[in-house]
Amino acid sequence: MSEQTILVLGLGGIGRVVAQKLHALGARVIGTSRSGTGVPGVHEVVPLDRIAEVAPTVDAVVNTLPGTAATEHLLDKGFFDALRPGATLVNVGRGSVVDEAALIEALDSGRVGFAALDVFETEPLPSHSPLWNHDHVLVSPHTAALSPAEDRLIAELFATNATRLLDGESLLNRVDTVEFY
């Protein structure tokens, strides 16, 4: 990891934690942010429209982006063609960010050497998808955040927000219904 350069797409809540952990392991981290604001552990921040420019320099890509009109099929054939051969893709954001047909082509050609996929364009992943049996793909069931404490944490957040709602306070973790994050 200490000799890897990793592109983290999206430096929101999940992306920041991913970037910090990668940095702690010695990776050079490049991140994307609409605001361009730096994040601890991120060596360089680039706008989304420049990811194909940095793609040849990265060993792996971690997608944490939400599914919006601006991110749909952001990782397409052009992006995969620009990647360093054998790069790794991890998708824990939204499936719509990745053009799966282009990803399969990139996996078959070796442009993407390995893909760990927690989310997909269509969920559940159709039984006929070649991703199920691809030798270079790990499929997980949209539970990347799975933790033994998950149920308790969800219940605590619900109780906290119920109290905040009754007290007229703003809610925690509100989703923007325009940007969907």
How are strands ordered across the β-sheet holding 137-139? 44-46, 28-32, 5-9, 60-63, 87-91, 112-117, 137-139
- Name the active-site residue from 16, 94, 100, 121: 94
Q: Is position 142 annotated as part of the catalytic site? A: yes
State which amino acid sits at residue 155: A
- Name the active-site residue from 28, 43, 84, 142: 142
Q: Is position 94 annotated as part of the catalytic site? A: yes
The alpha carbons of the chain give a radius of gyration, in whole angstroms, of 17
Q: Is position 43 annotated as part of the catalytic site? A: no
Q: Where are the beta strands (DSSP E) in the chain?
A: 5-9, 28-32, 44-46, 60-63, 87-91, 112-117, 137-139
- Name the active-site residue from 53, 123, 150, 169: 123
Give the C-alpha distances (Å, rounded to integers) separating 70 from 25, 103, 179. 31, 19, 9
Hey, which residues does 5 pair with through a beta bridge? Answer: 28
Residue 12 CA to residue 33 CA, distance in Å, equals 8
Q: Could you list the active site residues?
A: 94, 123, 142
